[in-house]
Amino acid sequence: MKKTKKFDCVEMMHRGAERVRRETAGMTIEEEVEYWRRKTEELRERQRQAREAQESS
């Protein structure tokens, strides 16, 4: 008997890739570089906040 997946990593990856395609559609190379720079900074901030929350608990 096959187990039912509660989480599908490949599906999540495809949804994320589609979202990026929609968000970057029609952008110039320079705009895409700025998009990724901004997203990287947002991720770093979330990681910093998560570390701080973990350290304070």
Domain range summary for the chain, segments of one domain joined by +:
31-57
Whole-number pLDDT of residue 4? 81
pTM of the prediction?
0.76
Burial class (CB in 10 A: 0-12, 13-18, 19+), 35: middle
Whole-number pLDDT of residue 57? 86
At residue 21, the 3 state secondary structure works out as helix
Whole-number pLDDT of residue 43? 98
Whole-number pLDDT of residue 45? 98
Query: How many angstroms separate the CA atoms of 10 and 14, rounded?
Result: 6
Tens of pLDDT along the chain (57 residues) come to 677 878 899 999 999 999 999 999 999 999 999 999 999 999 999 999 999 999 998
